[in-house]
Structure 1
């Protein structure tokens, strides 16, 4: 029997930093549409579900081909509501309904519209190797705590965030560090139910290039994404 791989798109309606972010347009489509289309195009995904508290977002989700079989409770859609709990609610809602239970949980955030379906498939493939509870996407960090990131003490003196064992003269010779991206997460449902967060278990990674990892949190981020989208289109 094949696994039931369900891609969830979590898109609440109350963003204060960037109102309407999840349905903001990029290349004529709302951000949520880009997430839905990437998830539907991923060969490993069998079902695409939107979790939202907002009727406009729910309507957009259905318009672009996702299911919206439940609405997210308000207590799981606030500014300080842990998304981990929204993830739990989503798999519990699907498992309580008709059809097969969730075997593989995939989160495809709206905020990384430059992802490729292959990025999702790569994460699912890494998860299926069987030695991890979670797979997340990362990209090489522009700043490095061993070389050019500092803290400032009470006397206004700067110190490296992580002092290296020996002097590091260039970023290239510092230990490699990565930024977590919002391209894709894959999680074991059993782990999601028993743990309190991603790093409570074994975490695998898939590296994606920076141009596919833009994380839209502000209107300026969207402008950056528009520029990169245009460059990608021009290069076809």
Structure 2
């Protein structure tokens, strides 16, 4: 398979301003995704899709190609990333890049392991699916200890199991949190569908630490703690 790796990194980030190029243990956040993709041995090249010149410059410094700047309408807070995936695939195909496998490695998972990327690719190579995602066992369950609050302020369990309550977590169905470690699929699936759940999805389990996702300032502190601990 001819595989291209991708990082989709917007300039705007409300939770953590300039998140994608904010330093983490001496390197900009986006560098970890680029380096992991290249180190995996799975990808022929890493492509960064961004609307921001500063991110583009940093991405190139760490070995990625930035063949275009993403249109502003695909980089807004409410822009579905799937549309950015489609834009990147179309751009590359129109310039003559022929690749049959697409891997998205979001910049927000700096602790991802190279072997987890490789495992996702291995599962995808086996066939029997349209896309591979990653996950970790959830710390909370919608059947047991996840609640919702109605417009009157009253709380109730998210999933009532058709009125039959679970009194022990062990008795509830096992559920998983998706992580952004890697997404593996084909350009064709991306162009023909409007979301990943329109196809057959396989999931690869990763450990909770390597799947930490940077979404707010405290996540940087958490990632830095485990990163320092990993290399002690």
Settle same-fold status: TM greater than 0.5. Answer: yes
Provide the residue aligned with 1:158 in structure 2: 155
State the 1:150 CA deviation: 2.0
Measured in 1, the distance between the counterparts of 2:72 and 2:99 equals 23
Structure 2, unmatched stretches of 5+, are none
Equivalent in the alignment of 1:137: 134
Matches of 2:166 and 2:14 in 1, distance apart? 41
- Residue 207 of structure 1 corresponds to 205
**Relative to 1, partners in 2 of residues 1:219 and 1:195: Cα closer, same or farther, differing over 3 Å?**
same
Give the corresponding residue for 2:32: 34
Q: What are the Cα deviations for residues 85-110 of structure 1, in whole angstroms up to 9, with x where unaligned?
A: 00011111111124x41200110000
Q: How does 1:56-135 map to 2 (within 5 A)?
A: 56-98=54-96, 100-135=97-132
Structure 1 unaligned segments of length 5 or more: list them. none
> 2:226 maps to what in 1?
228
Query: Equivalent residue for 2:143?
Result: 146
Q: Number of matched residues?
A: 231
**Structure-2 change in CA distance of 1:20 and 1:178 (3 Å):** same
Deviation at 1:24, TM superposition (A): 0.9
CA–CA distance in 2 between the matches of 1:79 and 1:97?
A: 28
Aligned partner of residue 179 in structure 2, secondary structure: strand
For residues 12-27 of structure 1, what are the structure 2 equivalents within 5 Å? Answer: 12-27=10-25
Structure 1 residue 164, shift from structure 2 partner: 3.0
CA contact (8 A) 1:138 1:207 kept: yes
Structure-1 residue corresponding to 2:174: 176
For residues 20-67 of structure 1, give each alpha carbon's deviation from its aligned partner in whole angstroms, at most 9, with x where no partner exists: 000011111101100000000112211111111111101101100111
1:217 matches 2:201: no
1:27–1:226: 8 Å Cα contact kept in structure 2?
Answer: yes
CA RMSD of aligned residues (A): 1.4
Following superposition, the deviation at residue 17 of structure 1 comes to 2.1
Q: Distance in 1 between matches of 2:171 and 2:102?
A: 37
The Cα shift of 1:74 comes to 1.1
Distance 2:54 2:153 in 1: 48
- Structure 2 length-normalised TM: 0.95
**What TM-score, normalized to structure 1?**
0.93
